[in-house]
Structure 1
Amino acid sequence: MAEQQQFYILLGNLMSPDNDIRKQSEEAYDTIPGQTKITFLLQAIRDAACAEEVKTMAAVLLRRLLSSSFEEIYPGLTVDMQTAIKTELVTSIQTEASPNIRKKVADIAAELCRNLLDDDGNNQWPELLKFLFDSVNSDNVGLREAVISALLQTMEDQTNPRVQAHAAAALINFTEDCPKSLLIPYLDSLVQHLHVIMVAKLQELIQKGTKLVLEQVVTSIASVADTAEEKFVPYYDLFMPSLKHIVENAVQKELRLLRGKTIECISLIGLAVGKDKFMPDASAVMQLLLKTQTDFNDLEDDDPQISYMISAWARMCKILGKEFQQYLPVVMGPLMKTASIKPEVALLDTQDMENMSEDDGWEFVNLGDQQSFGIKTAGLEEKATACQMLVCYAKELKEGFVEYTEQVVKLMVPLLKFYFHDDILLMGALATSAESMPLLLECARVRGPDYLTQMWHFMCDALIKAIGTEPDSDVLSEIMHSFAKCIELMGEGCLNSEHFEELGGILKGKLEEHFKNQELRQAKRQDEDYDEGMEETLQDEDENDVYILTKVSDILHSVFSSYKEQVLPWFEQLLQLIVQLVCPSRPWADRQWGLCIFDDVVEHCSPSSFKYAELFLRAMALSLCDTSPEVRQAAAYGVGVMAQYGGENYRPFCTEALPTLLGVIQSPDSKVKENVNATENCISAVGKVMRFRPECANVNEILPHWLSWLPLNEDKEEAVHTFDFLCDLIESNNPIVLGPDNANLPKIFQIIAEGVANESVKSEDACSKRLANVIRQVQGSGGLWTQCVAMLNETQQKAIQDLLNTA
């Protein structure tokens, strides 16, 4: 109790007008451990006897603590302590008499809730949502409506522009995180309010020159449009004239940020409503952008319009598609200039570093021996954004971007060699650089094989070396993924013997490091310091390692698909490590990706692959009924490729595997969400055995069951295989599939319609034409056609018509 009283005095002193007292109190506050701070601050907030100004300070400090130091403090608290904090906050909101304190406690709860949203938007504090829903007013208005209403009321408070701006900023955060389905019911009210506020603030800008709230309102409109997408179409005409007016007239230097945000807003609205709605304004908007672009060279380097312009151009490219190509000559100059910003770097001793402040835009990496590597971050955000836009143009315009591929490649490849990049923006530029490589090759194809090969040679060495040296797992995975895509695109002959030698050594190193890291993590689990917090860290490390393993698999897949069996002697240096992955004692992710690699060996190197069969067949057989669906899926796919490509030697294994596959498919939980992909691979594998190795199966007995399992809805690639086989059976008038007097045709129509409706069959798939021909043959048969169509619902009937129109 005495400690708590001392803490109240400390809080009071933090508000002292005496600088010395306040400074001493701040220093004392900083020495208190985070968990103790939280306990004392919560006690102060809920203590009815505590003075309101002290409670206010406690609430402000607790919110700041959760905002600035959440990751350092909260995850380290016990579960009981975390639960107690949540309970205390909810109780205080219910019982606090002071509206001011209650509002601040609600802000703390909101801050904690924000931090407890995971990367997928899942709320880890569902009790708060339930409490808020239960606490809404007697009209039973939903939480989101209440939130929006409160924010809009605050935005309409003309007496306090700064509060208005904060409310608009909160609305932006709200709509960015709000799922589309939950925003739509309140969209009309929200948009009408925003329009009223925008018109008022536009008049205020004209009359008084105030712009702060208008900047935030424009961004709020952009955020709402971005979330609402095509549902924003009815409101398009409400906003576009005013937005264009701002871009045309906000030309003074002090309005640069407003103009930039408005350019962003227009492009986001255009992207949301789509080409058809936006096109009448597209020409005028493009002229406005072009005018700004023409003046680009006159803009100062720190002009906020630059980054908004760069992003807006990329959105216009997405909207206009190939029609955007005509604007590239105007756009590319400034974009390349921004993307070419070279970060200022320096090797400094301790004394030099002390003379350079991080406030000046420098960040430092300690290299030991009293030396540090410094990088100046000014301009890096613009550079990273510009690199992303170049990727966007290459992706959208393809061969239309060919004129610029050479200069972009010369810009991107050197980025891969920049090894000191702790700065997150520079890491983003590196990842973007890697992402661009296969896209640029695709653009360059139109100029013929010689030009393409020349460009690939410029990239190849840098990509391989980056795979060997890149320390950041996120950037590394992007480089590996892009390298694999490049090999698939370039095909056989793209790697020489030196490339293979270097790549083999690198991949061997990655696999050995994978096993070593797993051993180290297991050892840490035996430490006396091991706890829940450490386990979370170890699991994060494990996920990173597994992700790199998936990229090793990607690269091997691309090499096997390009080089076939001629690459097997090179692969043998990795063979024992891959065998180690599929050992029954390994974690499920190891076994999954080890099997995937052997699947590729069988698919692309058969029948030569059989010489390794004794190393993986037993693991494959055991994995067909593994507890992990991912492992089952990889094993089932393996059976399918053995039947299709493996040759005579794999016949006994296909025969042996078939009963296990049937058992997995027919198990009661085979179609639950987590199992469905594995089950569909089993169904496809059964189909491949019947199609390519009919001697391994009692086809007449299995076919009726197989037909009842169709269509496959989740695994689109395997769905195409099943439809190909179905076409074979129908075209050969298989009596079991068609049934007596074609009695099964209505069922077959349903399978086809369901496949088209779920996009398991697409117009570009070869089997779509064959399926359409089946439909057309029935079309001419009068009564049978009527009978088949009558069995279909409206969606299925539309799917059949779509198939006939497009195939």
Structure 2
Amino acid sequence: MAAAAAEQQQFYLLLGNLLSPDNVVRKQAEETYENIPGQSKITFLLQAIRNTTAAEEARQMAAVLLRRLLSSAFDEVYPTLPSDVQTAIKSELLMIIQMETQSSMRKKVCDIAAELARNLIDEDGNNQWPEGLKFLFDSVSSQNGWTFHHVRPLGFISQVIAALLQTMEDQGNQRVQAHAAAALINFTEDCPKSLLIPYLDNLVKHLHSIMVLKLQELIQKGTKLVLEQVVTSIASVADTAEEKFVPYYDLFMPSLKHIVENAVQKELRLLRGKTIECISLIGLAVGKEKFMQDASDVMQLLLKTQTDFNDMEDDDPQISYMISAWARMCKILGKEFQQYLPVVMGPLMKTASIKPEVALLDTQDMENMSDDDGWEFVNLGDQQSFGIKTAGLEEKSTACQMLVCYAKELKEGFVEYTEQVVKLMVPLLKFYFHDDILQPLNTKPAESMPLLLECARVRGPEYLTQMWHFMCDALIKAIGTEPDSDVLSEIMHSFAKCIEVMGDGCLNNEHFEELGGILKAKLEEHFKNQELRQVKRQDEDYDEQVEESLQDEDDNDVYILTKVSDILHSIFSSYKEKVLPWFEQLLPLIVNLICPHRPWPDRQWGLCIFDDVIEHCSPASFKYAEYFLRPMLQYVCDNSPEVRQAAAYGLGVMAQYGGDNYRPFCTEALPLLVRVIQSADSKTKENVNATENCISAVGKIMKFKPDCVNVEEVLPHWLSWLPLHEDKEEAVQTFNYLCDLIESNHPIVLGPNNTNLPKIFSIIAEGEMHEAIKHEDPCAKRLANVVRQVQTSGGLWTECIAQLSPEQQAAIQELLNSA
């Protein structure tokens, strides 16, 4: 007994050391903690959490560690525990929640229980902890405020909804009702649409009667807490149900408009803000057609609020709700929203321009500034921290997202504002503060750049070029310096899109020089990181957890590699062969990517880059054929479908754009492509895209290099492989070639006395059913014309249609109606 107590005492010391500001002490504590076996860890942590006499920090730390253990190592630890220990853990958690008096601690323990419950629901939705569910219902009724946030008990949806609605209708206690409504919001946000729909009618009618009741209470007694939560519950249900909410629209909209119109007192600002949010979410869910009956009323209410906007205090909760609601209204109304921009943009720009308070502090000062002051810190080492006051930053972040939304939705209708928005966004590319809430502050400015160029295009080339000059240097600098890989990939993607908008001539020699150096460094870093990971795999500490984090690093690196490929794609498609001398500095690195010993993503993206060289620089690309041709032919039969797809696409563009030098290789490629198409598993989900690229490549060889292959022999096989429906771009290429063959009355395609026409009809019908070709694409018109021509020849038409299934017949009719 004494030994156990001593061990627990040691554990408290360990928890204290885990919180130590001294790096050495903390690192030793972490190593000691890692070496404690799973069962002992859980026992110690639970005892620490239960011990109300222990230091608050130690208990909080224990709660964080237990939740982390259950989320990251559940499968390794929990199933190995004896069943009586598992039962004890479950009842212990529920007991602590009931006994705990300190609310932030209780929330942490609720989160642990939620994490455990989530892990105890199997893939079929069977719950292995029914008492947890019962406790959930009871605790909602007794104010214990369980969070639903990680629990999705799929098998119990009707029970959950019934229990929560019943509790919301418990008129005895406002706080319990509010808790139940909050739990319902968490639940519906997490619940898939298909699972919610069967319970929608019951749920919505209950919510409506509760809302009406609470609205009366507000008028009579001024109580608003439950009504705020109910309004958000309605918004959440509409957001999940989408168009299925249309039948209930008229039930809610009059009351919601009434709240916005009349809830004008200061203490009702939050209710009004949430109601504005609710109306706009319902509008987005039901769509323009249904919402239009109220759109102008709602816009007038919003405009009225907006005109009082300048009188609002900075901390008015309505501000952020208004900003988001305007953007949803823009999505609903589309181009018609443009007329409201003069009213909306002032406050939005003001919010987006909030300057954050920042400070450089030593560690002692940082500790004196508590979290409650709304400061967040990044440790810069050497006892220094960079602090930023997050108040207002969430609003700034939302405002940046909204500006992106307007640029995307309104395009040239947003041109008046492009200049001021660009001046606001470009400096934000240097905003080095990475945190979940602030992520949009780092990614949205980059995302806005190509959209703003699209908007500005309407003012002519000179205005567009000026705007691009303002962005370009900052984007290239940011690619070179941005430390966070998520933000970096967004900036790179955005830069590539900008080049596509601007086209040939948009980069000067200095830009090319700087960009070349940066891309070279990124590729070199890519190889170096791979080597470092291999070294770590040989380390004595190497285990599954280490492998998991190495895999994450690897995924990040590959994602950056895809963005290097994006940038090169946009440069090749804009500049064509002129850019090849510049590209030569990167050539050895790209050749290195496609070496046989490299992992498949390297080979895939290396091939994609060479695909662009062939497609956009042909026939000048043949100069580099010695580096990529052999690997490309070899990789068509690679084990990785992604590598096969990249190789097959390359062989297709080689036939289409390559000069005469490529002819012998087209002949050599054909049997390799056919081998892939005819392999037994070529149409499985993981293989189908690669296979369709092979089929398309065979078509391109016949179309563009017909004298390199025996077209008459290959055509019947090729027809039997059609249609393509997964890879939409290749489907269009393939259907266009089919139309060429039919329009030229090719005897093999049509067959003797047109006997192949029913087969051709079924190919066209299947393509239509799989939406392989958009109706606005000229190819759809060509296919419809083929069908119309047969329509005029009576008997043949009847014969073709008779051999189609009812679905195929409907698809042919749909094509005729729309193309």
Q: Hey, what does 2:799 align to over in structure 1?
A: 787
Give per-residue Cα distances to partners, 1:119-162, cap 9 Å, x unaligned.
xxx9895268323599999xx99422222222222222222322
Contact 1:8–1:54, Cα closer than 8 Å, also in 2 = no
Local SS of the residue matching 1:586: coil
Counterpart mapping for 1:219-368 below 5 A:
219-350=232-363, 352-368=365-381
Compute the displacement of 1:71 (Å): 6.9
Structure 1 contact 63–111 (Cα < 8 Å) conserved:
no
Please point out which of 708, 711, 716 is paired with 2:720.
708
Conserved? CA contact 1:133–1:143, under 8 Å: no
Asked whether the equivalents of residues 16 and 58 of structure 2 are also in contact (C-alpha less than 8 Å), the reply is no
- For the residue of structure 1 that corresponds to 2:782, the secondary structure is helix
The 1:722–1:66 alpha-carbon spacing in structure 2 relative to 1, beyond 3 Å, is: farther
2: CA distance between counterparts of 1:223 and 1:523?
A: 49
Output the CA distance in 1 between the equivalents of 2:626 and 2:356. Answer: 54
Paired AA for residue 374 in structure 1: G
Equivalent residue in structure 2 for 1:81, among 54, 77, 83: 77
In 2, Cα distance between equivalents of 1:283 and 1:375: 41
Displacement of 1:75: 6.0
Q: Which amino acid aligns with 1:411?
A: L
| Of 386, 403, 420, the match for 1:390 | 403
Q: Secondary structure at the match of 1:486?
A: helix
1:762 aligns with 2:774: yes
Instruction: Please say if residues 400 and 440 of structure 2, whose CA atoms lie closer than 8 Å, have aligned partners that are also in contact.
Output: no
1:772 aligns with 2:784: yes
CA gap 1:181/1:39 in 2 versus in 1, 3 angstroms: same
Structure 1: give runs of 5+ residues left out of the alignment: 12-22
| Cα distance in 1, alignment partners of residues 40 and 170 from structure 2 | 35
Q: Distance in 2 between matches of 1:116 and 1:42?
A: 12
The residue aligned with 2:469 is 457
For residues 186 and 93 of structure 1, the distance between their equivalents in structure 2, rounded to whole angstroms, comes to 34
Deviation at 1:367?
2.9
Which digits, 9 at most, give the CA deviation of each residue in 1:740-773, with x for residues without a partner?
2222222212221222232211122221111111
* Alignment of 1:697 onto 2:709: yes
Code of the aligned partner of 1:436: S
1:671 aligns with 2:680: no
1:140-289 to structure 2, matched below 5 A, reads: 142-289=155-302
Kept in 1: contact 2:39–2:77 (CA 8 A): no
Structure 1 residue 697, shift from structure 2 partner: 2.1
Residues 555 and 299 (structure 1), Cα distance of their counterparts in 2 relative to 1, 3 Å cut: same
1:637 and 2:643 correspond: no
Q: Quote the offset at 1:358 in angstroms.
A: 3.4
Is the aligned partner of 1:401 residue 2:397? no
Distance in 1, matches of 2:768 and 2:314, equals 52
CA distance in 2, matches of 1:516, 1:421: 26
Q: Which moved more, 1:68-77 or 1:203-212?
A: 68-77
**C-alpha distance in 2 between matches for 1:791 and 1:687:** 26
Whole-angstrom CA distance in 2 between matches of 1:61 and 1:790: 77
> 1:67 offset after TM fit, Å?
7.2
1:97 is displaced (CA, Å) by 13
Inter-partner Cα distance in structure 1 for 2:332 and 2:576: 41
Equivalent residue number for residue 15 of structure 1 = none
The 8 Å contact of residues 120 and 129 in structure 2, kept in 1 or not, is answered as: no
Matched length? 782
User: Who is 1:580 aligned against?
Assistant: 592
CA-to-aligned-CA distance 1:304-353 (integer Å, 9 cap, x gap): 11111101000000000111011001000000000011112223344544
Q: Secondary structure at the match of 1:347?
A: strand
Q: Which moved more, 1:342-351 or 1:159-168?
A: 342-351
Alpha-carbon displacement from aligned partner over 1:94-140 (angstroms, at most 9, x marks no partner): 9x7999799999x99995696589xxxx9895268323599999xx9
Distance 1:3 1:295 in 2: 68
Q: CA contact under 8 A between 2:120 and 2:127: conserved in structure 1?
A: no
In structure 1, the residue matched to 2:150 is none
Question: In the alignment, is the contact (CA less than 8 A) between 2:15 and 2:61 conserved in 1?
Answer: no
Query: How far off is 1:376 after superposition?
Result: 1.5
Residue-by-residue CA offset, 1:372-423 (whole Å, 9 max, x unaligned): 32222111100010000011011001111111111111111111133x3234
Q: Which residue of 112, 126, 146 corresponds with 2:122?
A: 126
Deviation at residue 568 of structure 1 after TM alignment: 0.2
SS at match of 1:573: coil
State the alpha-carbon separation in 2 of the partners of residues 695 and 499 from structure 1: 44
Amino acid in structure 1 at the alignment position of 2:218: L
Query: 1: CA distance between counterparts of 2:128 and 2:439?
Result: 40
SS in 2 for 1:760: coil
| Paired amino acid for 2:723 | P
Cα distance change, pair 10–619 in 1 and its aligned pair in 2 (3 A): closer
Q: Which amino acid counterpart does residue 162 of structure 1 have in structure 2?
A: R
TM-score relative to the length of structure 2: 0.88
1:542 to 554, 573, 585: 554
Deviation at 1:54, TM superposition (A): 7.0
RMSD: 3.6
Alignment deviations for residues 164-199 of structure 1 (CA, whole Å, 9 cap, x no partner): 222222221221121111111111111112112212
Taking the aligned partners of 2:166 and 2:15, their CA distance within structure 1 comes to 36
**Superposed displacement of residue 73, structure 1:** 3.2
* Residue in structure 2 matched with residue 518 of structure 1 by the alignment: 530
Q: If the length of structure 1 is used for normalisation, what is the TM-score?
A: 0.89
Q: 1:675 to 1:89 in 2, by over 3 A?
A: farther
Equivalent residue runs for 1:554-565 within 5 Å: 554-565=566-577
User: SS of the residue aligned with 1:466?
Assistant: helix
Q: Matches of 1:357 and 1:638 in 2, distance apart?
A: 58
Q: Which amino acid aligns with 2:667?
A: T
Which residue does 1:717 correspond to in 2? Answer: 729
Pick one of 485, 488, 506 that aligns with 1:476.
488
Deviations 1:531-587 (A, max 9, x none): 111111100000000000000000000000000000000000000000000000000
What is the aligned-residue identity percentage? 74
The whole-number CA distance in structure 1 between the counterparts of 2:516 and 2:18 is 56
Partner of residue 19, structure 1: none
Asked if 1:501 corresponds to 2:513, the answer is: yes
